[in-house]
Amino acid sequence: MNILVTGGTGYIGSHTCVALIAANHDVIIADNLSNSKIETVDRIERITGKRALFYKIDVTDAASVRSLFSSHSIDGVIHFAGLKAISESTRIPLEYYFNNVVSTIVVAGACLEYGVDRFVFSSSATVYGDNEVPFVETMELLSVTNPYGETKVMSEKILTDIAVTNSAWSVALLRYFNPIGAHESGLIGELPGGVPDNLMPYITQVAKGKLDKLRVFGGDYPTVDGTGVRDYIHVMDLAKGHIAALEKLPEGVHVFNLGTGQGTSVLELVQAFEKANNLKIPYEIVERRPGDIAKSYADTKKAGIELGWKAERSILDMCRDAWRFEKSY
Ligand code: NAD
Ligand code: UD1
């Protein structure tokens, strides 16, 4: 298939481009490079031996998106493009609503106009709110406490409503848990700007000596050791989940959790990182971070049964690959 990947030079997008090319699909990337680098296109080529087409386009701009659809025969779209930092979304909510919701409307609109009926959307486990674990796709979504999460809930709703009136449409709403790690080559990985908000990039920057120690947000949660529990998934496993969704998706709207189903605490992840890489990560336990929940992990049965997909890589693999990328970049 000829697949349009919006946000394809970003963290998850670039790994998914590698997986798409490996599965013999042709890739067209549309990205405005607001949070990624053009050299990623070369790196994808170095890994796969095949060059993706690249367009520097803002996908909130309907004219540019239409022009792209009119000049290529596109079979499916994976829509990654978006802003993703929760704390930033509370400071500049309008930019988040505009970028994330309008891009979904514009890209979905172009699909309808040009008869493209496969749409895969990057949603997030954050839409579950503070629900009972494990999170199951059928759960009622509890209130989300930040504009970023709202943009995911809104985009899911918009795509669901469109699919109801367009019976040929196949839409996958993929709720990612916590992607970490990097491609085994060490050529592509996560490139956060400034001080990272997320745990793994923070750990790798402490390991590199860019940051002095990890601050563990909260040691009094009702978890195995008092620190927050998350479902970390290797980004290449997550990437493969997109291929399964594209290739196996029946008509209609389908929600899938993409996680491992295993919860890991902050301190367990630190220990795994130390073991995998033979390093010490200094840390201190500080106050809880506002908006954090104690536990988040997936019920992964649906993706296993309906997509035939399952995450395969271990926490140690994730730690090794994340560090390989950080130290070589
Ligand atoms: P990323 O920032 O690395 O990638 C997003 C890409 O989209 C970047 O390359 C950026 O330049 C591009 N972009 C942003 N706005 C654009 C626009 N208007 N037009 C064109 N390009 C635009 O983020 P990521 O971690 O790869 O996340 C990809 C998607 O997955 C996002 O929608 C994010 O919300 C979602 N998601 C990410 C996580 C995570 O932990 N990384 C978890 C759940 C969901
Ligand atoms: C955050 C977002 C979530 C998003 C996900 C992936 C919040 C509230 N949630 O989730 O919506 O889908 O990122 O982008 O921001 N931690 C530390 N010290 C740090 C960083 C994190 O102790 O410096 C802890 C957190 O408290 C949490 C765990 O590590 O328990 C994971 O944090 P993080 O990587 O930010 O992911 P989430 O909080 O799950």
Best CA proximity match to 68, nearest among 80, 59, 76: 59
Asked if residue 246 belongs to a domain, the reply is yes
Domains in the chain, number:
1
Q: Which atom of ligand 1 is nearest to the CA of 14?
A: 26
Atom 6 of ligand 2: nearest residue by CA position: 178
- Give the pLDDT band of residue 142 (cuts 50, 70, 90): confident
Asked if residue 169 belongs to a domain, the reply is yes
Asked if residue 137 belongs to a domain, the reply is yes
Tens digit of each residue's pLDDT (9 = 90 or more) over 102-121: 999 999 999 999 999 999 99
CB 122 within 8 A of CB 174: yes
Asked if residue 144 belongs to a domain, the reply is yes
Interval between CA 87 and ligand 2 midpoint (Å): 10
Tokens of 252: 């209609």
- Is pLDDT of 56 > 90? yes
Q: What is the residue-wise DSSP string for 30-59?
A: EE--SSS-THHHHHHHHHHSSPPEEEE--T
Measuring from each residue's beta carbon to the nearest atom of ligand 2, which residues come in under 6 Å? 84, 86, 124-126, 178, 197-199, 202, 215-217, 228, 230, 266, 289, 291-292, 296
Interval between CA 199 and ligand 2 midpoint (Å): 6
Relative to the alpha carbon of 105, which ligand is closest? 1
CB 166 within 8 A of CB 112: yes
Q: Can you tell me the mean pLDDT for 149-178?
A: 96
Interval between CA 80 and ligand 1 midpoint (Å): 5
Asked if residue 146 belongs to a domain, the reply is yes
- Is pLDDT of 59 > 90? yes
- Give the pLDDT band of residue 8 (cuts 50, 70, 90): very high
Question: How distant is the alpha carbon of residue 135 from its chain centre?
Answer: 17
- Is pLDDT of 144 > 90? no
Q: Which atom of ligand 2 is nearest to the CA of 124?
A: 12
Q: Can you tell me the mean pLDDT for 168-176?
A: 96
CB 127 within 8 A of CB 154: no
Residue 329 has a pLDDT of 86
Interval between CA 309 and ligand 2 midpoint (Å): 25
Q: Can you tell me the mean pLDDT for 260-289?
A: 98
- Is pLDDT of 193 > 90? no
Relative to the alpha carbon of 146, which ligand is closest? 2
Angle formed at CA 251 by CA 58 and CA 123, multiple of 5 degrees: 45
Asked if residue 327 belongs to a domain, the reply is no
Task: Give the full edge-to-edge strand order of the sheet including 118-124.
Answer: 53-56, 26-31, 2-6, 76-79, 118-124, 170-176, 252-258
Q: Can you tell me the mean pLDDT for 264-278?
A: 98
Tens digit of each residue's pLDDT (9 = 90 or more) over 294-309: 999 999 999 999 999 9
Asked if the bond preceding 192 is cis, omega within 30° of 0, the reply is no
- Measured CA to CA in angstroms, residue 28 lies from 73, 75, 183, 209 at distances of 10, 11, 20, 37
Which residues span the domain enclosing 149?
2-180+233-259
Summary mean pLDDT of the chain = 97
Asked if residue 42 belongs to a domain, the reply is yes
CB 137 within 8 A of CB 255: yes
Tokens of 179: 């992607």
Residue of 5, 6, 9, 11 to mutate, ligand 1, most atoms within 8 A of C-beta = 11
- Give the pLDDT band of residue 143 (cuts 50, 70, 90): confident
Amino acid at 294: A
Percentage of residues of the chain with pLDDT beyond 70: 100
Give strand ranges (E) for 57-213: 76-79, 118-124, 170-176, 178-180
- Is pLDDT of 292 > 90? yes
Beta bridge partners of 173: 121, 255
Task: Report the alpha-carbon distance of residue 159 to residue 154 in Å, rounded.
Answer: 9
Its pTM stands at 0.98
Q: What is the residue-wise DSSP string for 281-319?
A: --EEEEPPPTT--SB--B--HHIIIII-------HHHHH
Residue 34 has a pLDDT of 97
Measuring from each residue's beta carbon to the nearest atom of ligand 1, which residues come in under 6 Å? 6-7, 9-13, 31-36, 58-60, 80-82, 84, 99, 103, 122, 124, 176, 178-179
Tokens of 132: 């009972």
CATH of the domain at 13: 3.40.50.720
Task: Report the alpha-carbon distance of residue 235 to residue 60 in Å, rounded.
Answer: 26
Q: Can you tell me the mean pLDDT for 5-25?
A: 98
Interval between CA 153 and ligand 2 midpoint (Å): 19
Q: Which atom of ligand 1 is nearest to the CA of 35?
A: 11
Asked if residue 45 belongs to a domain, the reply is yes
Relative to the alpha carbon of 34, which ligand is closest? 1
